[in-house]
Structure 1
Amino acid sequence: MIVLAVDSSSKVATVALMKNKKLLGEITLADKKEHSVILMTIIENLLDNNNLTIDDIDGYVVSKGPGSFTGLRIGMATVKGLSFGSNKPYVSVSSLDALALSVSNFDGIICPIMDALRDSVYTSLYRGNSTCTNSSSESTNTDGNYDLPVKLEQLLDYSALDLSELIELIKAKNEKVIFIGDGVDKYKDYLIENCPNCYFPPNHLNVVRASSLGEIGSILLENGDFDDSNSAPFYLKKPQAVREYEQRMK
C-alpha cells in the first residue's frame, strides 16, 4: 500500500510517501509562503522524485488538528480533493498523536505542545511503550475516533490549556516528562523553571512530521477506518476573530 501523508497544521508544510509503512521520501519546509501556494508543488516534487504519479497512491492521510485554522483547512481541502478525484480513501489523524509518536520510546510522560498563543498550548498526554513492536495491535484513543498504535497510550484528551494549568496536571503525575512541539521553542525556559524533571528532544523533532502522521494513518487505512466527506478539522479553540467579535457583543 502506497500512502501520501500531508500536514499543514503549523507554519511547517510537510508531505511524506509511505509504502507498506516504510518511508519512501519526505519533504518538510518551514517556508514563509502560504501553504496554499506550496503544498501541491511539494506533493508533485515528491511523487516525481519517486517515479510515481497520483494514480499510484492507494490512500491519503491528513492532519485534522489541532493547529492553525487556515493551515488545517488547506490541508484537509487538498487531501479531500485528491481523494475524491482519484476515488481513493483518506483518513485524518491528530497532529498531537504524530508528535507523540516521534518520541514513543521515552520512558515517562510524553507531552506534545503546539503554540495556541496567549500563553496557552494545544496538548495531550501520552505514555510510550518502547517494548512494543507489533504495530497491528492498538490502544484506546480517548477522542474515540480511532485507535492509536500500541506504541502510545493516551492519558489526556486533546485540550487547549493555559501553560500553568498543564504544568499542574503534569506535576500531579510525579513522573519525568518530555515536551515536544513548536511550543517548546517559545516556552522552554518557563518549562525548565517550573517543571524540573523535564526533557526535550532534538530540535528537528519539534515539528510535526508527515512520516509520523503516515505511520498512524497507514494502520487506519489497512483497517478500513476511512473518513467520509463530512470529516472536518478540529480546532479546540474558536478563531481569534470570532472570540474578539463575541467579546464586543457582550
Structure 2
Amino acid sequence: MTQTELKEFLDSKVDQYNNRDFINEDPVQIPHLFTKKEDIEIAGFLAATISWGKRPMIVKNCLQMMDLLENTPYDFVINHTENDLEKLSDFKHRTFNGIDFQFFILSLKNIYLKHGGLENVFSKGIDNNSLQPAIHQFKKVFFEISHPIRTTKHVSDPLKGSAAKRINMFLRWMVRQDKLGVDLGIWKTISPAHLSCPLDVHTGNVGRKLGFINRKQNDAKALLELDRSLRKLDPVDPVKYDFALFGLGIFESF
C-alpha cells in the first residue's frame, strides 16, 4: 500500500471502531459513569491502572473498585478515614492488591491537595511535544510521600524503557477530543497531538505488520517508532489510530 492508501485504510478502521459500541466491553466505560471532572479522572486513572488481562474481568474489578469508593471517587479520596481505607484491604486484581489500592488513594489525595490535581501534574512535564517525560515526572510526584516499595511497579516510567501502555491509555481518555463518545476529552490544557498510542501486544503486532515498528519489544523505543509513524498520518490526532490498530488486532486477527 502507498502512504495514501494506508491512511485511507486506517481511517476507515477508525470510523469502524471509534464509536460508543466500543465502550460496552472496554474499561473506558468506567469514567463514563461520572459527570464531575475529578470523579471522571480518578475513576479513569484507577481503571487504567488495572487494565491488563481479560477485559470482562478488568471491567468487573473496576466496578468493584468504584463500589468500594462508594461511587464518589473524589469525595472518597479527599475525605476518607482510616476505617474507609481498611475496607479496601481485600481488593485484588492480579498483582494489584489492597495495599496498592490504599496507597493510590493516599497519593491521589496528596496530588489534589498539594499539586492542583492530576491534569495539573501531567501538563507541567511535557517536553519535545511528548507526554512521555510528563509520565516520568508524574511518577516522581505520585511516590513523593511514604509508600510501599511493591506499589512502584504499578506506575510505569517511559524514561526507564517502559511503553507505559496503561498511563498512555488513561491520557488518551482524558485528553483526546472525541466527538463520537468514547474518549472523554475533559483536559483542555494538553494537546491531543502530544499523546502516544497505548502500545500493547495487539497494537504492537499490527504496527509491525504495517511497517510502523521495527523493534521486537513493546517498549519505549518501539513506542517512539509508532508515534513517529502515526503522527505522519495525522499530526493533530495521532492516537485515533489506536482504535484501528487495536480493532484490527483483537477483532480481526490482522
Q: Normalised by the size of structure 1, how large is the TM-score? A: 0.30
Pick the structure with more helix per residue. Answer: 2
Q: Normalised by the size of structure 2, how large is the TM-score? A: 0.30
Specify which structure has the bigger relative contact order, considering alpha-carbon pairs within 8 angstroms and separated by 6 or more residues: 1
